[in-house]
Amino acid sequence: MKEFPDLKTDRCHLVQTTLDDAEAIFETINTLECQMNMPEFYSAFHHKERITHFIQVFSNYWRLGSGMLWSIKTPSDIVGFVGIMDIPDMATLFYATHPAHRNKGYMKECVMCCIEYFGKRYTGISIHSVVFNDNIPSLRILSNTAVKIDLRQRNNP
């Protein structure tokens, strides 16, 4: 089996998400921001017991060659996660930052690192991300990248 890509930025180390990361992943997902900006994802995984399943599914995706999930780590903490799924048919990038680490630039550098890796490893396959039109932080992260942004409108009553 091929080795999971171990990526590094100036401040972070991106490694395959394991069950040891479940608590930090849960804390990242179980937030109002995740509920608002990743509603389907939040709905499926905002319970602790479902996080284990989520991590195991992505471990299987990696073995099948259809996805990967990185935990973003600093020397002292887990900052968040970045994932790519549905490779090669509709490669989709998704990510979330732990509440304690938002607005510090971690996600921008980690997403850029993952996009660079993806572009080298999967030449000729485009990658997209679904983003709400009012999710300014994500729009800033993805600006000036090769990621195709699929804008969604909110269904405000």
Average pLDDT, the chain: 93
Mean pLDDT of 127-141: 95
Q: Residue 48 has what pLDDT?
A: 86
> In sequence order, what DSSP letters do the residues of the chain get, joined into one string?
-PPPP-EE-SS-EEEE--GGGHHHHHHHHSSHHHHHHSHHHHHHH-SHHHHHHHHHHHHHHHHHTSEEEEEEE-SS-EEEEEEEESTTTT-EEEEEE-GGGTTSSHHHHHHHHHHHHHHHHSTT---EEEEETT-HHHHHHHTTSSPEEEEE-----
For the chain, percent of residues with pLDDT exceeding 70: 98
Confidence at residue 2, expressed as pLDDT on a 0 to 100 scale? 80
Band of pLDDT at residue 129, cut at 50, 70 and 90: very high
Please give the model's pTM, rounded to 2 decimal places. Answer: 0.93
Mean pLDDT on 89-94: 96
Mean pLDDT computed over 56-75? 96
